[in-house]
Amino acid sequence: MGLFKYLSQNTRKHDFSSIKTNLIDWRNEPVTKRLEHPSRMDRARAVGYRAKQGVFVVRQRVSRGSHRRPDWSGGRHSHNMGARLNLRKNYQMIAEERAQSAYVNCEVLNSYYVAEDGKHYWFEVVMVDKAHPSVMSDHRLLFLAFPQNRGRVHRGLTSAGRKVRGLRHKGKGAEKARPSRRSHSRRL
């Protein structure tokens, strides 16, 4: 087995005391925090992280709970009193979008789950500075510099975004919603 397989096995064995002390520190940190190193190196490498200039990791905190339309205030608003719709985005996509908003000159490559408690989720988002020379010379990351990949997280082109859009189903007999859930429902 390679090194990262051992690392991923080690992460699966939940050491709750170390996770608990991490969360105590993380709650006091800012919502978006740039990190020196990923806390889960095996997952970071799996989603495309490379230890080079122009590539870095951001830990993003997202509030848990139903992401519903905010309640109205001040009298009756009968047009708002209908069915309360939940947001279709998952927490991971929301975390990626907020990290993108914090680092406007960079592009989101991918992200992965880190931890959760009763109030928050934490995700680590791999960001790429698309104008950095070391990124421009790397054939694996060069596609982020092209104009058609600008703002890819807001268009649902990351892995979490594709999951929300229903594009992760594979295999025979799987429920397909291609090219998106919206267009799939229109065809029915």
Domain layout of the chain by residue ranges: 3-187
* Coil/strand/helix, residue 141: coil
Query: What is the structure's pLDDT at 121?
Result: 95
Task: For 175, list phi and psi in degrees, rounded to 5.
Answer: -65, 115
Compute φ and ψ for 165, nearest 5 degrees: -80, -5
3-187 homologous superfamily: Ribosomal protein L15 (3.40.1120.10)
130, 124 in Cβ contact below 8 A?
A: no
How far apart are alpha carbons 113 and 20 in whole angstroms?
A: 16
pLDDT, residue 20, reads: 77
Region of residue 128 (left: phi > 0; alpha: psi -120 to 50; beta: else) = beta
β-bridge mates for residue 108, sequence order: 127
- pLDDT, tens digit, 9 for 90 and up, residues 49-59: 999 999 999 99
Mean pLDDT by 10 residues, the chain (188 residues): 73 65 91 94 91 96 80 70 71 96 95 92 96 93 90 92 80 60 68
Q: What is the pLDDT of residue 37?
A: 93
Q: Confirm if 48 and 112 have CB atoms less than 8 A apart.
A: no
Query: What pLDDT shows up at residue 42?
Result: 87
CA dist., res. 75 & res. 116, Å (int): 37
What is the gyration radius of the CA atoms in the chain, in angstroms? 19
Residue 59 CB neighbour total at 10 angstroms: 22
pLDDT at residue 81, rounded to an integer? 64
Res 100: pLDDT? 96
157 and 149 in contact (C-beta within 8 Å)? yes
- H helices then E strands: how many in the chain? 7, 4
